[in-house]
Structure 1
């Protein structure tokens, strides 16, 4: 047999293993776990509805009893230059129909586009949950911007005595029952962290081609079923929507323990797991990202800013990743075309079979994103784009520009520091 045939057969074997042995990563059925809906909502008092003033005494977290079924929640939103998306996302948080006491703390992280002022205007216009807008100033050395903002917002939130913290990005819109369902899922199932992979925007051609694959690749790397097992085989989270038990955040020493992390969601999950917390991760049905990535350039920068950090800035892991992407995603179509044109039936059969399995595992994700199924056979091309983005991420790192985002550059950030 030819070398190409051997590669095609190995690729097919890998795809059979991925299909059956990688936690059924391709399935999209990991949604919020069962929740208890038989608790009676409690009407908050007027004092509980408003934020504390600096002179008021600290209120301790309420216990979860029949007379106090809904724990207090503080929603923390780090925001830097988000005036473009805030009108689509912030009103959805203010409009939460949470039966207990909840408030929103937006941390204006050095914005230059009037993000903080716009947030206050939106709160005055839409009403709903009380909003506090704060600004922590520039990050101290050793902190990434988002985690610095979260540190300030979480510290302020803890003075309110919440039972849970909802950490959500400024581009994430929530359906009115999102917070209620998150808290109910956590309390019903004894979870310390509930994280949902927000449904990303898919409108433009490049978003259709790249975005569903982004979630598909993430699930392949961190199978949700493995994360959600009683004895987990993987650890990860989705940073856009994280409900975190306050006492667990304190025990895990977050965000201080992960202050340098560029891939902060995975780092957060590892810190919570080390502290003994129970984690759940799944796909969202009531949470959506409103941030547009209309062109390839925007998507490229989104992936390249953290891809090499995911590989812990390790050249050997980079080489292995590139080789793996070539073998798993590029060999099948090449073997099929070369086998048919060159009369190598085994190579054509193995390449075609591997390509078919690949496309078939991608179909559920396309359906979840309500995209046409003809995109499934294009997955090798999308994987090739991700390969180039990953290599570019490494090049940026060694050029000293590292992870750049909204005017800040982290030349030597940590991927997920261990402590």
Structure 2
């Protein structure tokens, strides 16, 4: 007779799997581990409570359906005072746009505006100039030997883009980038207490910085988004302190959304380009494939591997009963390799022109997706047009995370 897997054995196996995900080998290639998880079904129990969702169809259903909500401030308060959800950084991030639910989400999103074509075109001119400057610096360094693309380009382009758009002093950009990397732990899947403490400290500093910025722009408004948000919120909120705080949360959201994940996209995209010499040659001959190359990067290894939602009511997901208030973790990195959705999912193929969930979906579709695509496509076009072919010197190290991917280095050399 075959062996029967008990719930306790399955729980131990899942805990072991996530322990392996945190290792250097697990971060370098988490996809075989995702395949193990996906083999247990599109939806499976998480050892710490809630569910893990690995099937593409089930993930898409959650993101498109209003039955599923963000774990907002109210939900986090209900989890108790001695949980990760009660950490100051968790409470703070729950008041930013991505963590809000209607009707407050609708109100705040409308106040934020959007990256329309005029805005994108204006920002695009700046992005093009910054990319050229960064590639000039990279090329100079490459003439002397190898260079870290992540440090010189991927980490610099997003902060220069959003910093310039928000009108933040360039002297502040390095510290803001550091704080962005520190605060991300509160959004991780299973943060340690020490990591939450780092997020708490970073978030407190970011709060102080942006509230000071809002107050300064109120005194001296300019032609920038923060000044426009102040005018908008003064009409929406009669209490000036509450209006200033609303603008602070918008500015904070834009910074956090624009830096961490975009930098990862730029590094991952470039890794795909330089790890296979044929890809560079093919793209140089077919620059029209640049948008598809970016989209396949987002499918193949998205910057965010986990998106969490909460059931608003008792519901059924892929034949699994989920009670109201229970959390589901959408394992997007696993869903993007679901063979039921993507033929030959472990092959990087820009010609597949796929759909993906990297920018979420529904009402929470990423507000900054046009900006991220602009930066990635501009960088890729300029890279293949202006520089000699590059080659990968060594495989990059990755931060020991599960939800938020981050390449710590990307060492390249002239081919």
Please give the range of the TM-score, normalised by the shorter of the 2 chains. under 0.3
Q: Which has the higher strand share?
A: 1
**Which structure: larger Rg?**
1
Q: Which has the higher helix share?
A: 2
TM-score by length of 2: 0.26
TM-score by length of 1: 0.26
